Structure 1
Amino acid sequence: MTGLPCKPLLTSWNPLTQLVRFRTRTPDIRKPIPPHRLRAVALKLTKPVYDTSLNPLLPIKPVRPKIIKAQENPFERILANEFYQILESSKVVAIFHRNPMDQKEIYKMKLLLHKSKMKYLWYSNTVAKLAMSGTYYEPLLPLYQSHTATVVSEENSVAKLLKLEKKMPGVILMGALVEGRLMSVTDLKRYAALPPLEVLQGQLVGILGAPAQRISYNLTHHQTELSSALSRFISDQTQPPQDEEKKE
């Protein structure tokens, strides 16, 4: 018994499988094989039927969707009137692109503008369109396309506005309306570099008055020279008798 080999009594048998393809012909796309009878009946029943009585030469009229006009919100009209009155009383109207900010950053920006006598305004684009359409401020509407904010000032403080922009990273200046003139950022920088208005007015008055002063000088120069020459001649004629009297 000890010399017999130890083999299991039951062994597992795995059959060998092999895939065999009997059809070697590739499918013919140009002349396909007719389907089965039941499949052919199903395809015949589900085939769509089109109306061929219509004349294909006639132009097909495009279907225009009905445009439903949105009703105007009375509250937005009130806000638009308020916004328009603020614009009328302001000398500088600056439009900024507003980046995502929290309320804490917005409060700091409002406080910074308030110290410079400026005001931060935020109205929706719909309110801005109602306020500016058909008015003097309509050229500003192309700037109100995305998230925008408006800064107004009753004083002509363009230089202060450009300095404050560097301290407000949450907004980007796009343009401004200064005393009725629309300016880009480059124009605002040039405008801020100019001297005050009183100095420019004085320079203009001096430039305009220079030709008149020159003409007046040229007209009176010969008369002044003649009168001074006559006065010197008279003084020379009257001087010798006085000297002779002193000598006697």
Structure 2
Amino acid sequence: MFPSLGIPTRSMSRRVSIPKAREPSFFRRKLLAFSAPSYPQDDVSPTTERIWEKCSLSNDKMVERHVPNELEILYGQQMLELFSSSPVIGFYHINYLSYDNKLINWQNARRLDMELKDYNRRSCKAVLPGTKWEKCLHFVESCRTNQYMTFGPDIETLPNLIKFEKKTPELILIGAVAYDKILRRQDVLQISSLPDIQVLYSQLASILTSPQRQTLSYLGSGASGLSQNLSQFLKDQS
């Protein structure tokens, strides 16, 4: 026979004693006690078809699903600060976005002088109700995942929303907040097609000063004509 190598082996003659079964562990006993079925004693239903509606644990889970935790409240306060300091806010519908593409989109937003952020529904509902941005919850309700937003530091970054959308195929602009109003995507496109504000100022200044120049030219021509008539009259009298 082969010599023994000193390796401990399990004895195959060991059998499970059914009358003296081993006690379950503490974790398993807690799990069995937690999962044990319980039925209400005061209102016993004839069937068990809708008995799950009377489960208090199910109602507590539904409430906890909509109650934000402390971290989500902290993110919501950070979002509210960005809302207060950003005159231009863009809301986007998101397709599948990996971590690498999210980093690329964040860099593209930074190049356009904007900040790309995403917040979940509970963070938005914790801080936006009761503020002037309460109607922006419409964008959050229609989003199944985190709501992606861009924040611009000044109103001149409004055309950058369209530029950012062209660089990010995963994010589609669905609305924006500018001039303290909620704008549609079509409104953002129309405003983006307008010339620069300095060009508009120069055009407005030329339009406002054109009647003044025309009046001065009329006055100058009238004075020159009057002087010519007077000189001709003096010549005729002499």
TM-score category of the 2 structures, normalised to the smaller one: 0.5 to 0.7
Structure 1 gap ranges (5+): 1-65, 238-248
Please state whether the residue corresponding to 2:169 is helix, strand or coil. Answer: coil
* CA separation of 1:105 and 1:213: change in aligned 2, threshold 3 A: same
Per-residue deviation, 1:106? 0.6
Please state whether the residue corresponding to 1:230 is helix, strand or coil. Answer: helix
RMSD of aligned residue pairs (Cα, Å): 3.4
Q: Deviations over 1:155-189 (max 9, x none)?
A: 32233321221221111110111232321111111
Give the TM-score, by structure 1 length.
0.59
Please state whether the residue corresponding to 2:81 is helix, strand or coil. Answer: helix
Residue number in structure 2 paired with 1:161: 161
Q: Deviations over 1:40-83 (max 9, x none)?
A: xxxxxxxxxxxxxxxxxxxxxxxxxx998766644433322211
Per-residue deviation, 1:216? 5.3
The one of 121, 124, 127 aligned to 2:123: 127
Within 5 Å, which residues of 2 pair with 1:1-248? 73-145=69-141, 146=143, 147=145, 148-155=147-154, 156-215=156-215, 218=218, 221-230=221-230
Please state whether the residue corresponding to 2:89 is helix, strand or coil. Answer: strand
Letter in 1 for 2:83: L
Q: Deviations over 1:190-225 (max 9, x none)?
A: 111101112212222333344455455556653442
Per-residue deviation, 1:108? 1.0
Please state whether the residue corresponding to 1:174 is helix, strand or coil. Answer: strand
The structure number with the bigger radius of gyration is: 1
Distance 2:201 2:137 in 1: 33
Please state whether the residue corresponding to 2:119 is helix, strand or coil. Answer: coil
**Larger helix percent:** 2
Distance 2:160 2:68 in 1: 38
Q: Do the aligned residues in 1 keep the contact of 2:68 with 2:123 (CA within 8 Å)? A: no
Distance 1:138 1:231 in 2: 77
Per-residue deviation, 1:87? 1.4
* CA separation of 1:205 and 1:229: change in aligned 2, threshold 3 A: same
Distance 2:205 2:178 in 1: 24
Per-residue deviation, 1:128? 1.6
Structure 2 gap ranges (5+): 1-55
Residue number in structure 2 paired with 1:60: none
Please state whether the residue corresponding to 1:128 is helix, strand or coil. Answer: helix
Letter in 2 for 1:167: K
Percent of matched pairs sharing the same residue: 23
Q: Deviations over 1:16-40 (max 9, x none)?
A: xxxxxxxxxxxxxxxxxxxxxxxxx
Distance 1:149 1:228 in 2: 75
